[in-house]
Structure 1
Amino acid sequence: MDSDESDFYGEDDGIVPELEERIARFDVDEWAEGYRLNPARPRKSATRVADGSSHLHNPYAGVPYAWQLTETLDDFLARLPPATTSQADVPWIYICNPYLPGVPKAERDGAQHTGEGNGDEGPIQRESDIRLVVEAGMERLQLARSFLEELSSMNKSKAVVEREATKARQHAVSDILDLAHAAKVRAGKWMIFCTTREVDEVWEIVARATAANQLGTAAKVAPKPVEEIIRKDRLICVYTSDFKDKADVGRVLKKLRELKLVEAKGRAVYYKPDAFTYIGIGYGNPWGIKASLYSSWDKFPN
């Protein structure tokens, strides 16, 4: 134990070591297994998609604010231009990659997601257990918050407090990501912001590349806010299937860069796992956790 650690643990009432022990005992696999065995938390069975299917797919089939395989891209873009389509009428505007299968949105909404807005994320995998991630993730965040609150009340040096707080946040994020991956809640998205004046043009580029199987699993764009002053920039999300697949995440980033949609005006773009969205890890969250997993400045495998 180094001098900083001796200072950290030298004079306490046992609460912090107890919290650290609880954190160390937080086992993702054990939590997930206990969840699945608890009859009070039933899981909906999923139907397997046949391997080798040659037809096109659309998990947003029948969703009026999404591209339909029965319409051309030109018709879709003309029907739902994000610059003028109101959020009072549609929550988001979606397009899928028709070459990749996904759980139909109606099936997903009826069974899995919990929490406001959680049904607005991209396509999910079969047997994804979003409810498990929300419940276990919130429990893990509460444990981290208790530790951070106790830490801030202790008479320790600023350097020691900051170091231990950083470690606690990193451990919490690692546990949550491991949990999400085990529960097959693996999707994430590159987030692109653009002005209202630019949004139709940028969205058309993203939509056409998504439909051509050049980007990820799907994409969505924010429509016009009811009160435009609330948000100056519009958000476009480009989804990938697995946040741990850095090669694929990097491949999509590379294509976005080729399309000149990255580092526009010198700003980076950021990648956020859907699990973070489901449990409320956003900008300025109460746990002090960074709201993104990657940025366009990061290095990715070729």
Structure 2
Amino acid sequence: MEQSDDSDFYGDKETVMDLHKRVQAFDVQSWRLQQQQSPGRPLPRKNLIPDTPHLHNPYAGVHYAWQLTETIDEFLTRLPPKTTDMTEDTPWIFICNPYIPRVEKSMGENQLSKGNEDEAPEEEGSKTALVMEGGLERLELLSKFKEGIKKSNKVLATQEQEMQRETQSASDDILHLAHAAKVRAGKWMLFRPPAEVNDVWEIVAKATANNELGIAAKVAPRPVEEDYRKDRLICVYTADFANRADVGRVLQKLRELGLVETRERAIYYKPGHLTSSKPDDAQQMTHPARQHQEEGIFQCTAENKSGDP
């Protein structure tokens, strides 16, 4: 088979000449501009409309929590903390940060841990059961250490010093275990009288839903026998109690929202949220974590505020 020459490939001379003229007259820049204005086919909508972020709600279907199908105002109207009664079915009122993924409440390990069912929504991979088991074992060692010290011949002041050191060591061990096991949530705790709780909760709820505070927040409903002299508790959860920058950021935002009163009323922070079903263990599981009390730059305080959850 004979090879075709150029004229055979492009056509006759008249066609070739016409093609050359069209190529020479072709304005590349004008063609590009025309394609941008009217491409003749759909172009990828890249960067034209930003993707709507996928929203998350670990409390989906939980009646005492905000639902993505309702506005914040509708939620606040449905569950006003001042007049919503605390019952077995409504132990708290919750709202999540919809921009931060968390494990669905019903799937969390904390649902199998008595006293922890209504704490912060878990992050993926949390090992709450492991931390509870390890934490209680460490507290048992602490208890035995204290018993041994009390039976020693050491002077009382020395006994107390050694017990304090061992208590701090147990605290550190439990927190390190919790952090490694991804049980890392902490909470800022605000105390407000019933007359103020609706207004303060509205501010916290809207800021949480707008991704301005932490991973979630909760407020105590009205107790069965309410004492109007007793404050209600509002908790603002942070993702990682060891992340001082983020803990401080949330505190600063609370201050900007007018919710931190450095002189009149302190605000407290609890690293970790594990609670045991045994009162004595519960106190030790939370107390060693040491609260941060807000005083300009938050600092550690040695004792829990009485009645803290």
Q: Under a length normalisation based on structure 1, what TM-score does the superposition of the two structures give?
A: 0.75
**Alpha-carbon contact 1:134-1:279 (below 8 Å) kept:** no
Higher alpha-carbon deviation: 176-185 or 114-123: 114-123
Query: For 1:233 and 1:280, how far apart are their aligned partners in 2?
Result: 25
Query: For 1:65 and 1:287, how far apart are their aligned partners in 2?
Result: 27
Map of 2:212 onto structure 1? 214
Secondary structure (helix, strand or coil) at the match of 1:94 reads: strand
Instruction: Give the root-mean-square deviation of aligned CA atoms.
Output: 2.7
Secondary structure (helix, strand or coil) at the match of 2:258 reads: coil
Map of 1:70 onto structure 2? 69
Query: For 1:175 and 1:55, how far apart are their aligned partners in 2?
Result: 37
Query: For 2:56 and 2:150, how far apart are their aligned partners in 1?
Result: 51
Query: For 1:181 and 1:172, how far apart are their aligned partners in 2?
Result: 14
Q: Under a length normalisation based on structure 2, what TM-score does the superposition of the two structures give?
A: 0.73
**Alpha-carbon contact 1:180-1:275 (below 8 Å) kept:** no
Query: For 2:237 and 2:124, how far apart are their aligned partners in 1?
Result: 16
Once the two structures are TM-superposed, the CA of residue 283 in structure 1 deviates from its matched residue by: 11
Alignment of 1:1-302 (within 5 A): 54-88=53-87, 89-108=89-108, 111-229=109-227, 232-263=230-261, 266-277=264-275, 285=283, 289-290=287-288, 292-297=290-295, 299=297
* Structure 2: gaps (5+ residues): 1-50, 300-309
The 1:288/1:90 distance shift into structure 2, 3 A limit, reads closer
Once the two structures are TM-superposed, the CA of residue 215 in structure 1 deviates from its matched residue by: 0.3
Query: For 1:288 and 1:66, how far apart are their aligned partners in 2?
Result: 25
Higher alpha-carbon deviation: 243-252 or 85-94: 85-94
**Alpha-carbon contact 2:135-2:174 (below 8 Å) kept:** yes
**Alpha-carbon contact 2:276-2:282 (below 8 Å) kept:** no
1:241-287 deviations in whole A, cap 9, x for unaligned?
11111100010011111112123652321111334435778899368
Query: For 2:126 and 2:139, how far apart are their aligned partners in 1?
Result: 21
Once the two structures are TM-superposed, the CA of residue 64 in structure 1 deviates from its matched residue by: 0.7
Percent identity, please: 56
Higher RCO (CA < 8 A, seq sep 6+):
1
The 1:124/1:284 distance shift into structure 2, 3 A limit, reads closer
Query: For 1:210 and 1:126, how far apart are their aligned partners in 2?
Result: 20
**Alpha-carbon contact 2:57-2:96 (below 8 Å) kept:** yes
Query: For 1:242 and 1:248, how far apart are their aligned partners in 2?
Result: 8
**Alpha-carbon contact 2:123-2:182 (below 8 Å) kept:** yes
Map of 1:43 onto structure 2? none
* Structure 1: gaps (5+ residues): 1-51
1:169-210 deviations in whole A, cap 9, x for unaligned?
110011000100111101111011111111111101100111
The 1:78/1:265 distance shift into structure 2, 3 A limit, reads farther
Secondary structure (helix, strand or coil) at the match of 2:188 reads: strand
Secondary structure (helix, strand or coil) at the match of 1:285 reads: helix
Structure number with larger C-alpha Rg? 2
Amino acid paired to 2:124: R
Q: What is the total number of aligned residue pairs between the two structures?
A: 248
Query: For 1:100 and 1:126, how far apart are their aligned partners in 2?
Result: 11
Secondary structure (helix, strand or coil) at the match of 1:266 reads: coil
Query: For 1:150 and 1:182, how far apart are their aligned partners in 2?
Result: 30
